[in-house]
Amino acid sequence: MNTNNLTVGARLWIAVTGVIVLLLLTLITSTQRSTALTGDQDRVAEAQIVKVGEVARWVGLIQTNVTRVTAALVSTDPAVDSLYKEAIPATIQEISAVQKRIEALEMTPESRAVFNRIGEERKVVLASLAKARELKKAEDQAGATAEANAVFLPASAKYLKSLDEFAALQVNEFDGVQVGFVQQRQSNANFARVMVAALIAVLLAGTWFLIQLIRKPLRDAITVAKTIASGDLSAKVDVSRGDEFGEMMRALSHMQEQLVRLVADVRHGTDSITTASEEIAVGNQDLANRTEQTASNLEKTASSMEELTATVKQSADSARQANQLAGSAAQVAQRGGSVVSQVVSTMEEINISSRKISDIISVIDGIAFQTNILALNAAVEAARAGEQGRGFAVVASEVRSLAGRSAEAAKEIKLLINTSVDKVQGGTALVAQAGETMTEIVTSVQRVTDIMGEITAATSEQALGIAQVNTAVNELDQMTQQNAALVEQSAAAASSMKDQAHRLAEVVSAFKLDGQSMQVRHVAAAPKPKAITTSAPKAMATKPALARKPMAALPAKATAPAAKPVVAAKASQGDDDWETF
């Protein structure tokens, strides 16, 4: 199988999958061995525990029964014999049952031989016991005692000794089984260690193989990258691999092709940039001349605008003074109108008082008329009285005379009052006309004042507008100066761009295309345009607030530092030089 077509991910997955499979095999094998060992250990341990328990019970029952039989055979007390008469046969039956269960258990050949020997010795003990009991029943105590001492007790001792040997043998076998299990567990542990060591060895071998599969294409890619970084774009790139490294090599090949086209385009573009920079320099020179002429014209315009501003300012001041005088005249006319209004009011009050006096005179005339009538009546009554009323008639006559004079005086006063009222009414009418005339005068003066105010406001707005125009001209002059400075900067930038184009051509010449280095065409530097200086316009003496401040020309920006030509880089500095390019 061609591993060059396998992706890095596929290789890593194959390696990881192999390690996982080996790890699972090791784990499964170790688990199976451990499970089997645990099952065997549990089964054997359970069997041994049962066997040791049965043997211990067996030995205990035999020892108990031997003690009882010995006591029953040796004792001459009937109570002892009757005490163990039923217990001894029952224990013998139980011993036989336990012996059969032990016989059915699994034993080693050595244990089986000892067990068979115990069976033979038990038969001897039981035969001696039967014989002694027969003698006991025959009331031959001496014979029974002799049988017990001569045969039963030695046979029982040998029987018990064999039982102890069998019990000890079972315990030893149990310990041996435990030791075997410990050894088997150690064997399983050693097997696991061997499997882990083998797994580590396989993992290391696979890792080394995988590293070799990755390192070689990486070195090839690094070599290609260093070759391109050194400026050699003619190297052939192997793109036959089908993995990620093949994709990377194809990307490097595509980058190399793009760089070849880019360097060729840059080389052809440097000539165009140089030509364009020369044309820009010439255009900047023409623009500088036109800008200088514009600045001179703006300077003259600014001076004219300053003079016009001063004239309009004087007109505004004169209009403001006329407005103040018109305001004063309006105030005087308003005061005269107020006085005339007061005179009209006074004349109206006099007219009202004259009418009241005329009314009073009319009342006096009426009173005199009534007095005259009363005096006439009194004279008539006195004439009727004769001599007694003569004096009263004289008085009445005098009263009538006084009443007549009073009536005449009242008529004359009323005539004078009426004449005065007529004159007062005429004067009031004249004063009213004079008040209306003063009101019209005040209105006219107010209109004149308003017109003068409008003229003043318009003049002020004209002055403000001209000041703004003056400011705009100043700003235009400043912008013209700035444009001049910018033209100078543009000229310097054009010169710098031409130098940079030349340096760029030198840089591009370091790249090798198809075995040939690109040649650099040196272009003569274009003459720099002369610096443009403009004088600031004179400030207006009559209006310092509108004086124009000259703006200094902006300093030309520093040209970019010259780029160092790119040389062939060392292998250890390939990436850094590539980034610099």
Question: pLDDT tens for residues 111-123?
Answer: 888 888 888 888 8
Q: What is the pLDDT of residues 254-266, one digit of tens each?
A: 787 777 777 777 7
Residue 420 domain-assigned?
A: yes
**Is the domain of 274 the same as that of 146?**
no
With cut-offs at 50, 70 and 90, classify the pLDDT of residue 393.
Answer: confident
Is the domain of 258 the same as that of 200?
A: no
Q: Show Cβ contacts of residue 482 under 8 Å, excluding neighbours closer than 6 positions.
A: 551, 553, 554
Q: What is the pLDDT of residue 188?
A: 73
* pLDDT tens per residue across span 342-357: 777 787 777 787 777 7
Residue 538 is assigned to a structural domain of this protein: yes
Q: Are residues 256 and 201 in the same domain?
A: no
> Which of 37-41, 175-179, 310-314, 389-393 comes out lowest in average pLDDT?
37-41
Are the beta carbons of 90 and 135 closer than 8 angstroms?
no
Pair 129, 69: CB distance under 8 Å: yes
- CATH number of residue 76's parent domain: 1.20.120.1730
Q: Strand 516-517 to strand 512-513: parallel, antiparallel, or no bridges (unpaired)?
A: antiparallel
Judge whether 134 and 100 are in contact, CB under 8 Å: no
Q: pLDDT tens digits, residue range 400-415?
A: 787 777 778 877 887 8
Q: Which DSSP string do the residues of 12-39 spell out, in sequence order?
A: HHHHHHHHHHHHHHHHHHHHHHHHHHHH
- Among residues 217, 235, 264, which one ends one of the domains? 217
Mean pLDDT of 565-579: 40
CA 427 distance to own-chain centroid: 93
361 pLDDT above the threshold of 70? yes
Task: Please name which of 48, 45, 59 lies closest in space to residue 167, comparing C-alpha atoms.
Answer: 59
Mean residue pLDDT of the chain comes to 72
Flag the least confident range among 28-37, 206-215, 371-380: 28-37
pLDDT band with cut points at 50, 70 and 90 for residue 101: confident
Last residue of a domain, one of 179, 198, 217: 217
> What pLDDT is recorded for position 524?
43
Asked whether residue 73 is domain-assigned, the answer is yes
- Reply yes or no on whether the pLDDT at 539 is more than 70: no
The pLDDT of residue 37: 57
Q: What is the pLDDT of residues 275-305, one digit of tens each?
A: 777 778 777 777 777 787 787 787 778 777 7
Look at residue 527 and tell me whether its pLDDT is greater than 50: no
Residues 187, 53 share a domain: yes
Q: Is there a domain that residue 229 lies in? A: no
| Domain-embedded: residue 446 | yes
* pLDDT per residue as tens digits for the range 545-569: 434 444 444 444 444 444 444 333 3
Question: Distance between CA 335 and CA 160 in Å, rounded?
Answer: 164
Q: Are residues 270 and 364 in the same domain?
A: yes
Amino acid 77: pLDDT = 65
Reply yes or no on whether the pLDDT at 581 is more than 80: no
- The pair phi, psi for residue 114, each rounded to 5°, is -65, -40
Length of the chain: 581
Residue pointed to by tokens 């009242």: 410
DSSP state of 520: -
pLDDT of residue 8: 62
Query: Do 202 and 326 belong together in one domain?
Result: no
Residue with tokens 């070195």: 219
Res. 381: pLDDT tops 70: yes
Structure confidence at residue 580 (pLDDT): 34
Task: Specify the pLDDT at position 461.
Answer: 78
Give mean pLDDT, residues 145-149.
80
Residue 295, judged by CB atoms within 10 A of its CB (0-12, 13-18, 19+), counts as buried
C-alpha 192/C-alpha 201 separation (Å) is: 14
Which pLDDT score is estimated for 206?
77
Q: Give the CATH number for residue 512.
A: 1.10.287.950
Determine the pLDDT at residue 44: 62
CA distances from 4 to 41, 246, 328, 405 (A): 53, 9, 111, 163
Number of neighbours of residue 49 by Cβ within 10 angstroms:
11
Provide the sign of the torsion angle of the four alpha carbons 243, 245, 251, 257, taken in this order.
Answer: negative
> Is pLDDT at 97 greater than 80 in this prediction?
yes
Supply the range of the domain harboring residue 329.
244-580
> Are the C-beta atoms of residues 441 and 364 closer than 8 Å to each other?
no
Share of the chain above pLDDT 90, in %: 0
User: Residue 531: pLDDT above 60?
Assistant: no
Q: Are residues 30 and 135 in the same domain?
A: yes
145 & 267 share domain: no
Report pLDDT digits (tens) over 310-322: 887 777 777 778 7
What is the C-alpha to C-alpha distance for residues 488 and 285, in angstroms, rounded to an integer?
A: 9
User: What is the total count of domains within the chain?
Assistant: 2
pLDDT at 534 over 80: no
Domain end residue (candidates: 175, 201, 217): 217
In a domain, 352, yes or no: yes
* 107 and 248 assigned to the same domain: no
Burial 189-215 (b: 16+ CB within 10 A, else e): eeebeebeeebeeebeebeeebeebbe
pLDDT 10s digits, 4-25: 566 666 666 776 777 787 777 7
Please report the pLDDT score of residue 169 as a whole number. 82
Q: What is the DSSP letter of 398?
A: H
Assess whether 571 and 496 both reside in one domain: yes
CB 281 within 8 Å of CB 526: yes
* 344 within 8 A of 382, measured Cβ to Cβ: no
Tell whether the model's pLDDT for residue 338 goes beyond 60: yes
* Contact indicator for 406, 388 with CB cutoff of 8 Å: no
Q: Could you tell me if 579 and 225 are in contact, meaning their C-beta atoms sit under 8 angstroms apart?
A: no
The predicted structure's pLDDT at residue 27: 74
Element (H, E) at 154: helix 153-229
What is the pLDDT, as a whole number, of residue 211? Answer: 78
Q: Which residues pair with 512 in a beta bridge?
A: 232, 517
Are residues 371 and 492 part of one domain?
yes
In a domain, residue 525? The reply is yes
Residue 99 counted as domain residue: yes
325 and 467 share a domain? yes
Higher pLDDT, 37 or 577: 37
Q: Which of residues 439 and 574 earns the better pLDDT score?
A: 439
